Chain A
Amino acid sequence: DAGVIQSPRHEVTEMGQEVTLRCKPISGHDYLFWYRQTMMRGLELLIYFNNNVPIDDSGMPEDRFSAKMPNASFSTLKIQPSEPRDSAVYFCASGRGQGQETQYFGPGTRLLVL
């Protein structure tokens, strides 16, 4: 299995620009998670999906952030407009869920907003 795939691996953009992060979960996993990691706040869960449906987006910082999962093999996290404080590593993870299953993480996208 290829594992969770994320793209791009690195993104540098200017404040005000739109940023789109992409994720392909492990085949057969019906849960998908988006996390953000910063030095100040550690690892934070932003949103998660079950069977392509957003279940809990309480971690999404503000309306500038949105996430979609149009099908079982693809999800996006979009920031529009981006701000310097959005600079972080964004991880996508997938799992079989059911409140007991291990989450498997992708390699992350390192975002720098200038």
Chain B
Amino acid sequence: AQTVTQSQPEMSVQEAETVTLSCTYDTSESNYYLFWYKQPPSRQMILVIRQEAYKQQNATENRFSVNFQKAAKSFSLKISDSQLGDTAMYFCASLRSGSEKLVFGKGTKLTVNP
């Protein structure tokens, strides 16, 4: 079974600085997909970024980028130039190819301080 572990329950960062959220996963599959979702206080789950395991290039979306280390089964999220609106819970998730079941980590609560 797939598992996703986020080892940092809470983190904080100063506005305009860079922060990295950690995620490790365990899977026996060769092809899978990884996601980061953001959940602000409104509780809406918002997709931040997605990575296909067969792609070596790290995904980027504006200020958000990932460091995907397939051999280490690590998928960290880097947020550059942090903004107050980045304050949220961040969930890492994995999806086995051919499956529809997203497996989520427990989440990291990120606070961006002014």
Contact = CB atoms under 8 A, between A and B. Distances in A.
A99 B104 contact: no
B91 to A, nearest CB: 7
A100 B95 contact: yes
A107 to B, nearest CB: 5
Interface string B34-68: 01010000111111001010000000000000000
15 contacts: A31-B100, A42-B104, A42-B106, A43-B104, A91-B45, A95-B100, A99-B95, A99-B97, A99-B99, A100-B95, A102-B35, A103-B102, A105-B44, A107-B43, A110-B43
A93 B44 CA distance: 11
Nearest to A107: B44
Interface string A41-56: 0110100101000011
A56 B52 CA distance: 24
Interface residues of A, number: 23
Prevailing SS type, chain B contact patch: loop
Given A89-B43, A100-B95, A108-B43, A33 B100 contact: yes
A93 B101 CA distance: 12
Interface in B56-92: 91
A97 interface: yes
Contacts of B99: 99
A74 interface: no
A104 B104 CA distance: 14
B107 A102 contact: no
A99 B2 CA distance: 14
Contacts of A42: 104-107
A95 B50 CA distance: 14
